[in-house]
Structure 1
Amino acid sequence: MPVHRPAQSQPSAAAGPRRVPTVLPPARDDVPAVVVAHGTAHLEGLLMIDALLERVRFLRPGLPVRLSFVSKAEPRPDVVLRELAATGAKEVVVLPLFLGSGYHVRHDIPTAVREATKTSALTSAIAGAPAQDRAGRLRVHVARALGPDPMLAQVLAERLGAVCGRLFGTEVVLAAAGSLDQRATADAVAMAGLLAERLGMPVRTAFLTAAEPSTAALLTRLSRRGRPVAVATYLLAEGGYTQRLRDTAALAGLEPGAVRTPRVAAPLGSHDVIARLLLRRYDQTLFG
């Protein structure tokens, strides 16, 4: 039986031998990174985020990494950006610690960047800096959200395996926070597709708030069917949503007609793969 291979174009003699780069460009650590998280009042969640950033610092020694929050915790990203500008930073990479392109990524972060750059330019003008210094004194590069991404599917699969073991014959649900922004909802659905590819089995999507189907309704329905139900927690850290998800699963198992209680995996958390994904977003933003 013949083997079909993709056709390869031959370089012309005039063009000379094709040069293949043998050395990748070195990883940069000269531009500070400002990680922007949602924020939580739960100590365990804050510690989990802090542990994740320690992994980032371990993987990229020398890279200045600052943490900020858009809600429920401080400092705010515009404050951190102004502090970096005051210390003489010329460039900054903002890394959204969000799983989709929802309101915080599309509104809160750009607003913080505008406020910080406007304030730093004003401070420079008051100080009497030359015009060329006042223009673009702080250059801010904003990375895209973490998800959807196959690296997240790897972590979700590991978390599921830790709580359920083998998943054969199991109904798998990816539970996301939910958003009124349809783009964020679409990101979660796309992430369920990537997890399905990773597991080699169907994955349903449900939301804790603002979008349908709701996690409560879906888990209640599935728990009555008799097959095991496993929930992939598509959340970064412990907080109010993770507690709500565990409570929802427990209540679904107590509903009349329920045969099994859904098992809920841990959130993504401080995993080395998440740290590497953050650094990948940093490199992608600087190198294009």
Structure 2
Amino acid sequence: MFEKIKHRFRVMRAVAFVTYKEWSAYRTHSMVSIFVGPVYFLVQYYIWSAVYSGESSINGMSLSQMLSYFCATMLINYLTMDFADWNLQMLIRTGKFITFSLRPMNHMFYALSQKAGHRVLGLLFEFIPCFMIFFFIFHIDVLPTNLLYAILSIAMAFMMNFFIHYSIGMVAFWMVQSSSIRNFFSLCEGIFSGSLIPLVFFPKSLQMASFFLPFQYTTFLPAMVYTGSYTLADITLPIPQVLLLQLIAVIIAGVVCRVLYAVSLKHFTGVGA
């Protein structure tokens, strides 16, 4: 068992390294975030400064907490961003997915390894530079309240994002071209993940629904863990319980993704091969 895990780790490391080398040739693409991130933050700063005009707190969040929240969501996104749905759809549509039936690893594990290498690039060329800009230029407190909790939550958000996006990508096994589904999903993700606006600003019914949707576990929840407190639908939970809740959600998403993968393979017809 230990040797099997060790072997899979070596395989993942090799694929991640190759992916890192491949994408590092286009590292200027990632470095665009050094400019986009701060500009996006400035937009949020002026919007929320106007919203908080004359108010010390709205829905339990002060202006400084709101700014820290948006900095945290941007930084977390640099570490968890996923492209598995687009990549899987392309492989299925062109028929290139058939090559993975000849390889000694399934595509899901390969895609996860690719993401690991790609996000190492994001760490070096997106996360660290933007962290420095937010901390030293904008003087925003972007240090996690508890580093260990933040790392655990971001790691689970990394996996949750992958499971969600890979599951959406598998729609292509039935539809071949799943762009419309992916676009609809992106809209729901932007709204219900908390990346556009904190979920505490939603009606209470939608806040309650967020506990049963996968989206908050990719952005809102890890951002709350990062900043040190979690409240949703008037429910305040200590961070250890929040991490347990996130772990349960990730396990469920992983099981669903694995079952969908097994079922989806039976529908692959090699279109375009």
TM-score for both structures, normalised by structure 2: 0.27
Higher helix share: 2
Higher strand share: 1
TM-score for both structures, normalised by structure 1: 0.26
Larger radius of gyration: 1
The higher relative CO (CA closer than 8 Å, separation ≥ 6) is in 2
